Amino acid sequence: MTTNRMQEFLTELKSLYVKLEGTYEGNQPQVLRKVEETRQLLSRDSDLGEWEKQLLHMAERSGKANFLCLAVQNIIKATEVSQLSQNEYDRGFNDDK
């Protein structure tokens, strides 16, 4: 994913998060679609890393349990993690355990 598209996508996610702070009602399907959209966008150039897989799995579970802000936070984190250098990724993933 290009840097510009990544920034646009992160802006969309942050706007969704702000919207959810107002109300969850009726927004669960949109959040679950964002989880799947993120999986597709992040796996377009290569396979998803383990860290992204874990974060998106947590996002999906949170979304299904109607913890929508938590789900969006995990989507944002997965998106940001995918942009790390390999060294930063390895260090952060191992520290996160």
**Residue pLDDT, tens place only, 69-88:** 999 999 999 999 988 888 88
pTM score of the predicted model: 0.87
Domain count, the chain: 1
Q: What residue numbers bound the domain in which 91 lies?
A: 3-96
**Residue pLDDT, tens place only, 45-69:** 778 899 999 999 999 999 999 999 9
CB neighbour list of residue 95: distance below 8 Å, 6 or more residues apart: none
Per the CB < 8 A criterion, the answer to whether 39 and 48 are in contact is yes
Closest alpha carbon to 73 in 90, 54, 55: 55
Q: Crossing angle, helix 50-64 and helix 86-96, to 10 degrees?
A: 50
Structure tokens at 83: 């942009």
